[in-house]
Amino acid sequence: MPKDTYIPCLLNLFRQYGYDGATLSRISEATGLGRASLYHHFPGGKDEMVEAVLDYLEGWLDRNVLQMLRSSGEPLTCFQVMCDRMYEVYEGGQQPCLFAILLLGSARDVFHTQVSEILRDWIAAIAAVLEEAGMDANLAQQRGEDGVIAIQGALILSQGLQDSAPFQRVVKQLPQQLCTGLLS
């Protein structure tokens, strides 16, 4: 099987156990691949597996969120679709964010640049929608950051409380909050 076949499984493992907790034994058991096969598909080991997962998430974000934000449309509608996609990928707040897991764990320095680029692209896409709708560039940038903070923070809070209600509330309210000052 091609190595892309294993990416969703690896994503779930790294979400559940983090970088350190996703041992080769757990990865082997979950994927059904022996260690030799794992290294055949991912010669760089666990770091390459995480990089492949991050590439997968970056592609998903680009196809499902960023391209839509870059297309012309009403800001409120664009942000509602963005939040709907975030709701789906995080299963209503039930799934943790791999970005947070990686940035707060021992692998921070290894994956910081790639995660940072993904987050910057997302913030820039939100800001561009707001700027196109007439918002000042600095405020649009701040709102883009606030939007990502709201989603990521709500995920962390929901995981910590074992209650997805905060995340669900945020994705419901965020489109309107991002558009405050744009709507008449």
Per-residue pLDDT tens digits for 68-127: 999 878 999 999 999 999 999 999 999 988 888 888 878 788 888 999 999 999 999 999
State whether the Cα torsion 41-110-167-68 is positive or negative.
negative
Locate 115 and state its tokens.
Answer: 């995660």
CA 105 to the chain's CA centroid: 16
54-178 sits in which CATH class? mainly alpha
* Number of C-beta neighbours around residue 87 at 10 A: 18
- Nearest to 49, CA basis, from 116, 4, 90: 4
* Number of C-beta neighbours around residue 71 at 10 A: 9
Q: Which residue has the tokens 């963005």?
A: 82
Locate 168 and state its tokens.
Answer: 């669900």
The helix-helix angle for 75-89 and 165-178 (nearest 10°) equals 160
Name the E strands within 41-154: none
Work out the end-to-end distance of the chain between its first and last CA atoms, rounded to an integer number of angstroms: 54
Q: What is the pLDDT of residue 107?
A: 79
Q: How confident is the model at residue 3 (pLDDT cuts 50, 70, 90)?
A: confident
Considering the entire predicted model, what is its pTM? Answer: 0.90
